[in-house]
Amino acid sequence: METTASKTSPPLIEMKDVSVGSMRDQSTIVIEGVDWAVTAGDYWVLAGLQGTGKTDFLMMTAGLTPPGAGSYHLFGEAMPIFDERRLPTRLRQGLVFDGGQLFNHLTVFENIALPLRYHRNLSLGQAAEQTKRWLKAVELDAWADSTPGTLGRNWQKRAGLARALSLQPEILLVDNPLGGLDLRHAWWWLGFLDQLSKGHAIMEGKRLTVIVTASDLRPWKDRAKQFAILKERRFVVLGTWHQLEAASQELLHELLMTERQT
């Protein structure tokens, strides 16, 4: 199924008959037969219930694990990319882990500055101005000198987002951004990702290609442009929200459930 992006644009991500292994045991295949293309400006939500392999799929997409089978190309380069000389290609893609995955021995400021120091060879002082901009963008100024363990999950996630954006990637992968958040913080994430997909000022107006995972499709209506679901080891591309609504309810009902009665 085609996305809404231009047919003439080369895909940023292209997978053909890809299978995905579990992060715990790569020999255990959790998703198979993935045929998927992502072009510049896409905004994808990949939805599935717990245990369907969403995180495994995103980690493979980020290049942290290899495909179990099939071919995966990122910006035209065969994945995974592990060698140093091809690292710049991988860095065109940013990843936000569920929970942030911050280093507890570093402050929030130091965590966000880390990619700039490691990949741009900047000192902490040289990275300070850019890091302060990211802290302000995600509203973490007051916690710059705090360590991650003193923050709530909602703020840890935001710090992880700022760190992933610090190198100004072209693709942003976000694992379960709304998981465990109250309504106020969930709305912040929905709004901020929406701005990034349209061209946020913090990214100098550059539109990001955004890919997120979720267990509930409803919050993403009128925001994301393309949808796919993971179910029973399958990766099913649905397309736009209109196409999603026309799909089999048997395929989708768990991901569009109304609020349970208390």
DSSP calls for 91-126: TTEEEE-TT----TTS-HHHHHHHHHHHHS---TTT
* pLDDT, position 128: 95
- Give the number of other CB atoms < 10 A from CB of residue 76: 10
pLDDT band per the 50, 70, 90 thresholds, residue 248: low
pLDDT over 80 (residue 81): no
pLDDT cut 70: percent of the chain above it:
94
* pLDDT, position 85: 78
What value does the mean pLDDT take over residues 30-47? 96
pLDDT band per the 50, 70, 90 thresholds, residue 5: very low
* pLDDT, position 7: 53
Residue pair 164/196 in contact by the 8 Å Cβ criterion: no
pLDDT digits (tens, 9 = 90+) for 177-230: 999 899 999 999 999 999 999 999 989 889 999 999 999 999 999 999 999 999
pLDDT over 90 (residue 136): yes
pTM of the model: 0.91
Domain ranges in the chain with CATH number 3.40.50.300: 1-92+172-262
pLDDT band per the 50, 70, 90 thresholds, residue 257: low
Residue pair 233/29 in contact by the 8 Å Cβ criterion: yes
* pLDDT, position 99: 85
Nearest C-alpha neighbor of 63 from the set 123, 18, 125, 106:
18
Residue 161 falls in which region: left (phi positive, over 0), alpha (psi -120 to 50) or beta? alpha
* pLDDT, position 260: 38
In Å, how far are 5, 31, 54, 88, 238 from 43, measured between CA atoms? 10, 21, 16, 23, 13
Which amino acid belongs to residue 202? I
pLDDT over 90 (residue 250): no
If you count them, how many residues does the chain have? 262
pLDDT over 80 (residue 259): no
Q: What angle do CA 171, 177, 181 make, to 5 degrees?
A: 160
| Average pLDDT of the chain to the nearest whole number | 90
Instruction: Could you please state the CATH topology (level 3) that the domain comprising 1-92+172-262 is classified under.
Output: Rossmann fold (3.40.50)
- With H, G, I as helix, E, B as strand and everything else as coil, classify residue 71: strand
